[in-house]
Copies of this chain bind each other. A is one copy, B any other.
Amino acid sequence: MSKAIVLVSGGMDSCVTTSIASKQFSKLALLHVNYGQLTQQRELQAFKDIQNFYSIKDSLIIDMSQFNIIGGSSLTDSNIPVSKTDLNNKKIPSSYVPFRNANILSSAVSWAEVINAKSIFVGAVEEDSSGYPDCRRSFFDAFEKAIDKGTKDDTKIKIETPLIHLSKKEIILKGVKLGAPLHLTWSCYKNQEIPCQNCDSCALRERGFKNAKIKDPILN
């Protein structure tokens, strides 16, 4: 039985993706990245909670210092404020971390080649999201071709994005149906005890639960 890697940030999307992957693969390995984001500790906790929930032994936590040094995003540079949410704004928001998914995927591929995993699951969402360019399926398709060319000839690794065309509402409903532990996830971009409900990520989450007519389990 082949093995799959799941990229798990600790947010809802990666939680539901883990749930989907667990139905398709008997062996999962979870990858989490600390990249100096404001909510690093909170996200790491959510990652560990999800890992424990699914009793997955194989995990890798990577410290990626480059984003913090490079900056250019409100998530990694404290001089750039986290924008107040504006989901109707079609511009790429200040939370965009340049080419983040390529950095994370590259590490996942290195790991996959060593542990012989055949698939990498990513909980990226294309439409109902913040519009990050590295969350588009066209990017993952192009990256898959780069994997084919840049690894050993007998290495075949697919990038699976089961949520890519879903809305937040649909992701939540799928998560609930699959019994995904949404109560363990963290979405807020700010580093505080309770979600700010003011950033894009909180706003997307709130709208999703509202449309799904479900109460968000992390809110009192």
Q: Which residues of A does B touch, CB under 8 Å?
A: 60, 62-67, 69-72, 92, 96-103, 105-107, 109-111, 113-114, 133-134, 136, 138-139, 141-143, 145-153
State the Cβ distance, A90 to closest chain B Cβ, in Å.
12
Using A99-B110, A145-B146 as known contacts, list a sample of 14 further A-B pairs with CB atoms less than 8 Å apart, ordered by residue number in A.
A60-B70, A62-B66, A64-B64, A70-B114, A71-B114, A72-B113, A92-B152, A99-B147, A101-B150, A102-B150, A105-B106, A136-B150, A139-B149, A143-B149
Do A113 and B142 form a contact, CB below 8 Å, given A65-B63, A133-B152? no
What are 16 A-B pairs at a CB distance below 8 A? A60-B70, A66-B107, A66-B111, A67-B110, A72-B114, A99-B110, A99-B147, A102-B102, A103-B106, A105-B106, A106-B106, A133-B150, A133-B153, A138-B149, A142-B142, A142-B146
State the Cβ distance, A61 to closest chain B Cβ, in Å.
9
- The dominant DSSP class at the A interface is helix
When distances are taken between beta carbons in the complex, the residues of chain B under 8 Å from A97 are 110
Bound complex: CA A143 to CA B146 (Å): 5
Interface hub of A96, A97, A102, A109 (most chain B Cβ within 10 A): A102
Q: Which of B60, B65, B98, B102 contacts A146 (CB 8 A)?
A: B102
